[in-house]
Structure 1
Amino acid sequence: MFKSLAFVLRIAIAWGFVVMMVAAMYSSVPLIGRFELPIILLVMGTMALVIGGAFSHLRRVRLIAGHIDGDTLGNRQKRLVEIPLEAGEAFDLLDAAIRELPGAEQIQSARDSLQVKAKVARPRTYGEHPLRRWNPLLWFGLPRNQLQATVTPAGDSGRVALICEPENPAWSDWFLVDDGTNYENAEAIVRAITRRIGERRRGEQASAAQTATEKELTEAKLNLLHAQVEPHFLYNTLASAQLLTRSDPVRAEAMLGHLIQYLRRSLPNVEGEMSTLGAELERALAYLEILKVRMGDRLDVQTDVAEALRTTPMPAMMLQTLVENAIKHGLEPRTGGGTVWIRARRDDNTVAVTVADNGEGFNSKTSGTGIGLKNVRERLRLRYAGAANLAVVANFPAGVAATLTVPANGHNPNA
């Protein structure tokens, strides 16, 4: 209440001083100055309109802001907003928010200096005033507002200084009111910035949720692959072991031992953790040993994986996929068979695992559908976000070499 009365009193005193000066000048005019009634009516009418306009400003500010204090009553409003974005992105967001402001015109946007200036047409809050030009609160000054916004870089964020004010000199605030329009403009821009930041965050969360869903689906497929063994491979292995039990029990026992090892390594990982190069190598070698029993001298296996590299984290079944491709599409179609090489090398923070063969190579008749390699690349993308890759090239003088490169610590170094 005290602030409201003080505001009305300030406006009344300012206008009272002006009215007294006008009355003094009127009384000094010869002949006309003798007639006191016109100047009395002018003084009373002017003061009534001024005080009425001041109370109208108070009521509207209370309606907009919900309370009255020195900040809400002022014609000139300032806001400091911290935007959690890089300065350039913060400027783009601010510029878009200002352009959405109703009545914004003559917008001057300077991205290099991170400044935005604009004029804002002041709405006719109460429609066309019945007194029009006879209203003392409209006697001088421009019925238009202006704003200036500056973005200051602050590390990874941008700090916005927003000023909304009438397009009149500061001394006019003693006589004129803006009916809370600059307070409205400042709050509208802050709301627009907040809304856009919220939309951006929701978009990022939706993208992250989608990525997480894709990752979960991939992991679910991986668990399914863990839980099942290729039927034809299992049937053929058991059938071969059954035949060998009659002719060569020792080889049959060796084949069943490798099959047990392979099945043990193929059980799903209930904790969902990464496998290791060593564990994947044991699975692949067990698979190859079974095939060596079946293929005999047609298959040769050579490995070169240092013991220190066997603890390297690696997604399960990836090495197995590369080995199976080398057998199915490279060596099995060849009458004379061939060799499978498995090598691993470390280079700085990455480990490269290569599976090579000297089989058919890129032969359209034996190249398959490519689904296995596509799944490997997709899993690498979801797991490492670009920090791992799969390269498949022709091997010299024959065959194919597939190289899987993963971070040595199992994590994305850019994360």
Structure 2
Amino acid sequence: MTSLFFIFRLTLVSMVTYILAVAILTENFLRHVVRHTEEFFVIVGAALACAVITNAFSHVRRVRLIAGEVSSRTLSSRQRRQIEIPFEAGEAFDMIDAAIRELPGSEIAESARDSLQVQARVRRAAPYTQSGLPRHRLLSFIAPQPNQILATVTPNGEAGSVTLICEPARPAWTDWFLVDHGSNLENAEAVTRAITRRVAQRRRSEQADARQSETEKELTVAKLSLLHAQVEPHFLYNTLASAQLLTRSDPARADEMLGNLILYLRHSLPRTGQAMSTLGTELERACAYLDILKIRMGARLNLQIEVPAYLRQVELPPMMLQTLVENAIKHGLEPKSGGGTIWIMARSGDGTMIVTVADDGKGFSDDGAGTGIGLRNVRERLRLTYGKAAAFAIVANFPDGVTATITVPDHTLQGAAHG
């Protein structure tokens, strides 16, 4: 019924306009010959009615092919779409601008980023008259007129709302007589499909990045679990050998060394389902490790700890403090003949916790340098855990040694400190 009413309306308007034009023409200019021209005007009117009905039927048929349905909305030569893009207005503008510029037949595109508007002219091909037509001036009225597109992006919080208008480049009153054969419906659907494709492509890219980041994080966690389960063989052998010797000469110190070894091993075992540790737990592990070395190294190793009690409950990735302490021993104090001191300090900043491990050992000398694998692991784990909110710095200590500092976020520090 909708298609029949549409064809009837176009035919009726065209015929009424034709009859009025003939009446005015014959009344003012052809009054003396009207008796001899009545049949001519009837024939012309019938031909015009057939042309209008055929053109309207072609429009309805093409709209049905494009949209799969015929309604007042799809039959209209002027199409309006409201498209919600789940990105901020600037990104939404870039998407709609690219979609319109890549539209087939797009010839003129004017985009204003400040006002978030895009205007374009789109060349229209006539699906039923283009083929085989001679290019004569007398037939220029048959040539299809261009369409135009206006897109306006309205900011909507973190999203952008696009108002898309596709219409013929002619006055609106001509819609009573002329049709566009569904070309503006086709343009509106094409732009909508392009936006949908671009949004889906963006989502797939974000999901791929998220999967890659998750894979990197899982790989780091796997490396960390291996690090948990791995105790350096030389350290274990030397500790057990030292404890065996002490059982004969100093049983009390041997018992102390074995107790520290048990504490160190307990904290070094992997813990399923627990990705984060605390500064207090990591400090216990580091102290157990250093106490064992202190028994072995004697006066060559001194330890100073300055960690407030309220900071010991702050979360810290496991084995991070231990890595810095082991680096200070292996590459700082052990190569130095007279040994030295290790400082472990922590303080609160502006919503952050700052942990420092310093030594007065060999420093950045050639014979004190290591491979750097442990420090790279620290940086990577900080990046995966905190993003850009964490920091790691290692500098020369004065007058000797190295200072390594980790800064991690914790918004509960101020309340904990004042509590």
Q: Shorter-chain TM-score: which interval?
A: over 0.9
Alignment check: 8 A CA contact 1:141 1:168 kept: no
Alpha-carbon RMSD across the aligned residues, in angstroms, is 2.2
Equivalent residue, structure 1, for 2:19: 20
Q: Which of 217, 233, 236 in structure 2 is aligned with 1:234? A: 236
Q: Check whether the contact 2:130–2:143 (CA below 8 A) recurs between aligned residues.
A: no
Tell me whether 1:91 sits opposite 2:105 in the alignment: no
Q: Residue type of the partner of 2:126?
A: R
Q: CA-to-partner distance for each residue in 1:233-267, whole Å, 9 max, x for gaps?
A: 11111111112222222221111111001001111
1:13-412 equivalences in 2 (<5 Å)? 13-24=12-23, 25=25, 28=30, 30-31=32-33, 34-128=36-130, 139=141, 143-408=145-410
Report how many aligned residue pairs link the two structures: 409
Identity over aligned residues, as a percent? 60
Q: Which amino acid aligns with 2:279?
A: L
SS where residue 234 of structure 1 aligns?
A: helix
Name structure 2 gaps, 5 residues minimum: 414-419
The TM-score normalised by the length of structure 2 is 0.93
* Contact in 1 for aligned 2:129/2:142 (Cα 8 Å): no
Residue 388 of structure 1 deviates from its aligned partner by 1.1
What's the CA shift for 1:77? 0.6
| TM score, norm. by length of structure 1 | 0.94
Q: Secondary structure at the match of 1:12?
A: helix
Amino acid at match of 1:14: V
The equivalent residue for 2:4 is: 5
1:153-209 deviation digits (Å, cap 9, x = unpaired): 122111111111111111100100000100110111111111111111111111111
SS of 1:385's equivalent in the other structure is helix
CA contact (8 A) 1:106 1:119 kept: yes
Q: Which residue of 1 aligns with 2:417?
A: none
Mark the CA change 1:293 to 1:131 in structure 2 (over 3 Å): closer, same or farther: closer
**Which deviations, in whole Å up to 9, do the C-alpha atoms of 1:350-402 show, x marking residues without a partner?**
11111111101111221111111011000000000011111111111111111
Moved more, 21-30 or 346-355: 21-30
Whole-angstrom CA distance in 2 between matches of 1:131 and 1:339: 96
Determine if contact 1:258/1:286 at 8 Å carries over to the other structure: yes
Q: CA deviation at 1:148?
A: 0.6
Give, in angstroms, the shift of residue 31 of structure 1: 4.5
Q: Give me the whole-angstrom Cα distance separating, in 1, the residues matched to 2:365 and 2:59.
A: 84
When residues 379 and 191 of structure 1 are mapped into structure 2, their CA distance, relative to the original with a 3 A threshold, is same
Q: Deviations over 1:293-343 (max 9, x none)?
A: 111111111111111111110000000000001000000001111111111
Q: Do the aligned partners of residues 129 and 139 (structure 1) sit closer, same or farther apart at CA in structure 2, a change above 3 Å counting?
A: same
